[in-house]
Amino acid sequence: MPRPLSATIHTAALANNLAVARKYAPKSKIWAVVKANAYGHGLSRAFPGLRATDGFGLLDLEEAVKLRELGWAGPILLLEGFFRPTDIDVIDRYSLTTAVHCDEQLRMLEMARLSKPVNIQLKMNSGMNRLGYVPERFRAAWERARACQGVGQITLMTHFSDADSDRGIAYQLEAFERGAEGIAGARSLANSAATLWHPAAHFDWVRPGIMLYGASPSGVTADIADTGLRPAMTLNSELIAVQSVDPGHTIGYGSTYKVGKQMKIGVVACGYADGYPRIAPEGTPVIVDGIRTKVVGRVSMDMLTVDLTPCPTAGVGTRVELWGTHLPIDDVAQACGTIGYELMCAIAQRVPVRAE
C-alpha cells in the first residue's frame, strides 16, 4: 500500500476559475498562465480544465512542446522569452509566441533563420525593474523589432509589482502609457490581481495565473471570497498514529511543543519531503475528520503532528486535509509566512497526484 497521501486536481474548479477570469475581463482574451508545471498542478492534468482559454503562458520550451503534444494548437506565450539562439528553432517549429525583453534577444531574432515570422510580446519595464525596456527606450526597441524580418505581430506587454496591494498599478500604468504612446499593437498587462481588481489594465489580453488555481493573488483568502473562485488542488492524507500525551511531555524534534493538559496527538502522513513547509508553526490550520484543528510540534520529513482535542473520535485512518476544498491554501500559507503560490508549486514528486 502506498502512503495515504495524495493530491487531487479538480478539473471542474479549473474550468470554473477560467470562467471567472472571463467574467472579470469580458472584453479581453486570456493567456492562462501554466508555468511551473501549472503551478504544481501538472500541465497535462490542468490542461483539460483550462482548454477553453485563448492561449497559454509558460516559461519552459519543454512545457510548450508538451502542450502541443497534448493537442493544443492555439497560441503559446513564452513569458520570459528565450535564452539561446537554438531556442528560436523550437519557437519556429512549434509556432510559439515569445516575450522579448532585452537587446540580446532582439539580436538573436535578427540573426535567426526562420520559416515564418515570430509573434512577439515586447516587454516594458514599467517599474518592477525585473525584465523589459524602460519607457524611454521602449519606442526604439519597438522600431528595431518592427524592422526585423523575423518578427511578426508585436504585442506590448508589461507586468505589475503591486496589483494585489495598496500601492496599486497607477504608477506603472502611467509609465506604460508614456512609453507606449502612439505605438500600435495589442496590449497585455494584467496578472490575476489586475484581472480581478483593476479593470483599467485589462486591455486586449489578460494573463491570470494564481486565480485559475483558486488561490488569492494577495495571499488573503477573504480577498477572493466573493469572486466564485474555487480551490483546484486538495492535498489529503490520513492519521497513521494517535498518541495520548501526558502533561509536561513534548512533541517531535526539538521538543518545541510542550503538552499542558493531557492531550491526543494525531500523526499525519505528510512532511516537508512532500512539499509541506517545515516552517509551519504551531497553530497552522489543518482539517481532521472534517474539523479544523492545528499543527503542533515541528514538521518532520515524512510526518507532521496535529492536536486532536477538537476531534475526539479521530483515529488511525481518519481523513486529513492539509489544504484544498475545505481549507484554503492561503490560510495555510499565511500561517507559514508565505503565499499559496509557493505551497502549490512545492508539491513534491513523490506525492501521487490524480485529476478528477
Ligand X SMILES: Cc1ncc(COP(=O)(O)O)c(C=O)c1O
Catalytic site includes residue 171: no
| Binding segment (CB under 6 A) for ligand X, from list 141-149, 202-210, 251-259, 303-311 | 202-210
Q: Among residues 311, 271, 279, which one has the least CA distance to residue 294? A: 311
* Number of residues near ligand X (by CB under 6 A): 10
Instruction: Round to whole Å and give the CA distance between 338 and 320.
Output: 22
Given the C-alpha cell 492519521, which residue does it identify?
239
- As given in the structure block, the three cell numbers for residue 224 are 477572493
Q: Is 55 in the site for ligand X (CB under 6 A)?
A: no
Q: Is 159 in the site for ligand X (CB under 6 A)?
A: yes
- 124 or 251, CB closer to ligand X? 124
Active-site residue identified among 23, 94, 171, 253? 253
CB of 186 to ligand X, least distance (A): 15
- 205 or 272, CB closer to ligand X? 205
Quick note: the x/- pattern for ligand X over 18-37, rule CB under 6 A, is ---------------x----
Catalytic site includes residue 341: no
| Binding segment (CB under 6 A) for ligand X, from list 196-204, 209-217, 288-296, 311-319 | 209-217
Q: Does the CA dihedral 87-34-97-75 come out positive or negative?
A: positive
Q: Is 192 in the site for ligand X (CB under 6 A)?
A: yes
Active-site residue identified among 24, 35, 133, 213? 35
Given the C-alpha cell 523589432, which residue does it identify?
145
Q: Which residue is nearest to ligand X (CB)?
A: 209
CB of 188 to ligand X, least distance (A): 8
* 286, 306 Cβ separation under 8 angstroms: yes
- As given in the structure block, the three cell numbers for residue 175 are 509609465
